[in-house]
Amino acid sequence: MTGPSERAGASERVERLAGIVRRVRGRQWRIVPHPGPVLPDRRTTGKSGALRAAIFGVNDGLVSNVSLIFGVAGAGVEPEVIVLAGVAGLLAGAFSMAAGEYISVRVQREVFERLIHLEAHEIGSEPEAEREELRQLYLRKGLSEELAGRLAEEVMRDPQVALDTHAREELGLDPDEGLGSPLAAAGSSFAMFAVGAAIPLIPFVLGSGLRAVLTSGALSGGSLFAVGASMTLLTGRQILRSGARMLAVGAGAAAITYGVGKALDVGIGL
């Protein structure tokens, strides 16, 4: 049976951890590989995550808008209609990407904060159980019984260290590298999508007819290859192969929508 002194001690630990949690809410967290150590040169960093988001944002805008523009152009409509469709596709896609990224980052941060709050409560109210969790975790990593026990005991002496360690080892969160601001993530997604979507649109803003179609196709093709080649910074694959693959995907999508537009033009006289 728990005595008054033990209950008072648990209450004090909970209060200390509550203060830590309030500070934690202002920190940034990200998912890290779990379990086991990760070599520094293989680790996924915030920079690689930002590069990945930028590459795929440009790629999404480029492929979606070149497909839309070529589909409308294939229907043989007026140049103004093609430009209007391209601008609408750019804005709709960019706002959709921004909204999705904002919600995603916001919800993920809220989930992380809740997990940290629950972990802090468990450390304060059930320190022995949390100490045993750490001991078992260190045993699974290959430490000896004695060393695992001593390490778990040392970690649990300081509530801040205990919370930080449980966050990293048990929840897979890293306080050193964060998810970032939801607004910043949304703005970045909007900008990257808009850049990609503007590439096939520019020739139709500056010209019209077959020349605009060919120029847009060439500009988009070169950009698709460049986006595919830039992915090798993340994948380590061959530049030519990665670029050609992305070019084939984008060109295939544009060709299909252009064919559909042509068929509609012939079939129903758009």
Place of tokens 């048990």: 170
| The pLDDT of residue 35 | 40
The pLDDT tens digits of the residues spanning 138-155 come to: 888 888 888 888 888 888
Q: Which residues of the chain have pLDDT under 70?
A: 1-50, 174-179, 265-270
Distance of alpha carbon 69 from its chain centroid, rounded? 28
Separation between Cα atoms, residue 191 and residue 185, nearest integer Å:
10
DSSP per-residue codes, 77-121: --HHHHHHHHHHHHHHHHHHHHHHHHHHHHHHHHHHHHHHHHHHH
Domain map (residue ranges) of the chain:
15-23+45-262
Are 129 and 122 spatial neighbours (Cβ–Cβ below 8 Å)?
yes
Separation between Cα atoms, residue 212 and residue 69, nearest integer Å:
11
Buried/exposed code over 106-127 (b: 16+ C-beta within 10 A; e: otherwise): beebeebbebbbebbebbbeeb
Separation between Cα atoms, residue 95 and residue 98, nearest integer Å:
5
The pLDDT tens digits of the residues spanning 40-84 come to: 344 444 455 567 778 888 989 999 999 999 999 888 888 899 999
Give the residue among 132, 124, 119 at the shortest CA–CA distance from 9. Answer: 124
